[in-house]
Chain A
């Protein structure tokens, strides 16, 4: 807060003529807070150390070299005794009240101090936790997205194989279809040719049968009865000769 005062006063002084600039430069060694507003310097984790809740530790450290550990306590006691004995501090009704309210305040701080501090710290921690949760969820979302992307890339590699397989399938289907149609064509042609062959066979057979019938008819019609008798007699004579020879063979 006071550094802002330095900036403002420095600006106004600088613009106020010759002496103004010199004054600002001269007092620069006394300005201890940082001269820049960003980055904001970090807050210390704990406040300044105090003893008995009121007296900063620096007083004890300051007096330690000369007066040791009991130095500041002797100083305090001496001061109080001096004020009381010289009646610079008069004991009146306010003293009694001060003792009362002092007891109440000290008791309250001792009893509820830690709880209240923990509660206030929890408010800050909730803030940090919310931001951390948002950050974590975002990081996990992005990690998932990266993994999904990698998966997709792997899938793309596999897609080539998929396309090859599909192409093979299609080619096989086409081949099968072609062969089927060819088979059908062959069958149809064979059927027609078989028909022609069967027709020819039929024709030939009819012709043969017709010829045989005609020949038989002519032969039978040409056989006269005399010829028939002669042939039968001859046959009987042959049979008799045969019978004789057979008998002779059998007897021999």
Chain B
């Protein structure tokens, strides 16, 4: 069967056994649970340090009632970072390039923060629909625009992550296919495409980390508004 460019994004199946669950759960073993030791090995120390730094950074602007979300958002950060960076390796499947997974995460979490805001402090949450310092004439239009922007948030969150990763992977595949194809015919052009591929891989590594961080950061911002 001929491979199309999008076959790398198909949910992996081996003999009709879906492997996507394993693909999502297996990276969990990279993060061991806290040990009974006071001083740990390097990998565990670095993970703990990174996680404590990231969590304190993200939760700095959020007032104390929102700190209940620390576990959820930090585990989300770890999940997304691991999925994205593991997808950089060749022959791997990136679960976060699937719209289903990203929309599931984005929609559920966004709805969670909005409902939290509406239940605990409805006036304050609804007040966000009218930004401060706006002239009184524009109020109806502004409220409509802000409502639309509120409801577009989950779509934006999910699609942003999906699009970034899918586009990155697709570009990598295209460039590497081009390099391979031209390697025998036009080696010099193949070298240039190879350099492009090299730079693209670097970009993809950066994007993988940044997109995960942006996802979690935006959720923390929505939380900050509503808690």
Q: How far is the CA of A47 from the CA of B41 in the complex (A)?
A: 9
The one of A1, A40, A101, A117 that contacts B201, using a Cβ cutoff of 8 Å: A101
With a CB–CB cut-off of 8 A, which chain B residues contact A117? 42
Asked whether A40 lies within 8 Å of B176 as measured between CB atoms, the reply is no
Asked whether B180 lies within 8 Å of A123 as measured between CB atoms, the reply is no
Q: How far is the CA of A1 from the CA of B198 in the complex (A)?
A: 40
Q: How many residues of B contact A (CB 8 A)?
A: 29
Q: Does A202 contact B (CB under 8 A)?
A: no
Q: Does A93 contact B (CB under 8 A)?
A: yes
Contact with A along B22-51 (1 / 0, CB 8 A): 000000000011001111111001100100
Task: State how many angstroms separate the Cβ of A117 from the closest Cβ of chain B.
Answer: 6
Interfacial residues of chain A within 30-51, with CB under 8 A of chain B in the complex: 37, 40, 43, 47
- Given A93-B180, A116-B46, the answer on whether A101 and B89 have CB atoms closer than 8 Å is yes
Q: How far is the CA of A116 from the CA of B202 in the complex (A)?
A: 19
With a CB–CB cut-off of 8 A, which chain A residues contact B38? 127
Asked whether A97 lies within 8 Å of B172 as measured between CB atoms, the reply is yes
Closest to B43 in A: A120
Q: How far is the CA of A128 from the CA of B40 in the complex (A)?
A: 12
Q: Does A98 contact B (CB under 8 A)?
A: yes
- Given A120-B45, A120-B49, A124-B39, the answer on whether A104 and B201 have CB atoms closer than 8 Å is yes
Q: How far is the CA of A104 from the CA of B208 in the complex (A)?
A: 15
Q: How far is the CA of A96 from the CA of B187 in the complex (A)?
A: 14
Task: State how many angstroms separate the Cβ of B203 from the closest Cβ of chain A.
Answer: 11
Interface residues of B, dominant DSSP: helix
With a CB–CB cut-off of 8 A, which chain B residues contact A128? 39
Task: State how many angstroms separate the Cβ of B43 from the closest Cβ of chain A.
Answer: 8
Task: State how many angstroms separate the Cβ of B88 from the closest Cβ of chain A.
Answer: 6
Asked whether A98 lies within 8 Å of B90 as measured between CB atoms, the reply is yes
With a CB–CB cut-off of 8 A, which chain B residues contact A120? 42, 45-46, 49
Q: Does B81 contact A (CB under 8 A)?
A: no
Asked whether A40 lies within 8 Å of B89 as measured between CB atoms, the reply is no
Task: State how many angstroms separate the Cβ of A43 from the closest Cβ of chain B.
Answer: 6
Asked whether A103 lies within 8 Å of B198 as measured between CB atoms, the reply is yes
Closest to B39 in A: A124
- Given A93-B176, A95-B180, A120-B49, the answer on whether A104 and B198 have CB atoms closer than 8 Å is yes
Q: How far is the CA of A37 from the CA of B172 in the complex (A)?
A: 49
Asked whether B197 lies within 8 Å of A100 as measured between CB atoms, the reply is yes
With a CB–CB cut-off of 8 A, which chain A residues contact B202? 104
Q: Does B6 contact A (CB under 8 A)?
A: no
Q: How far is the CA of A128 from the CA of B99 in the complex (A)?
A: 46
Closest to A104 in B: B201
With a CB–CB cut-off of 8 A, which chain A residues contact B32? 1
With a CB–CB cut-off of 8 A, which chain A residues contact B179? 93, 96
Asked whether B91 lies within 8 Å of A94 as measured between CB atoms, the reply is yes
Q: Does A27 contact B (CB under 8 A)?
A: no
Q: How far is the CA of A182 from the CA of B198 in the complex (A)?
A: 118
Asked whether A100 lies within 8 Å of B198 as measured between CB atoms, the reply is yes
With a CB–CB cut-off of 8 A, which chain B residues contact A116? 46
Contact with B along A98-115 (1 / 0, CB 8 A): 101101100000000000
Q: Does B173 contact A (CB under 8 A)?
A: yes
Would you list 21 pairs from A and B whose C-beta atoms are within 8 A, ordered by A residue?
Answer: A1-B33, A37-B36, A40-B37, A43-B41, A93-B176, A93-B179, A93-B180, A94-B90, A96-B179, A96-B180, A97-B90, A97-B172, A97-B173, A97-B197, A100-B176, A100-B201, A101-B88, A117-B42, A123-B45, A124-B40, A124-B45
Q: Known pairs A43-B40, A123-B49. 17 more at Cβ < 8 A?
A: A40-B36, A94-B91, A95-B90, A96-B176, A96-B179, A96-B197, A97-B176, A98-B90, A100-B176, A100-B194, A100-B201, A120-B42, A120-B45, A120-B46, A127-B38, A127-B39, A128-B39
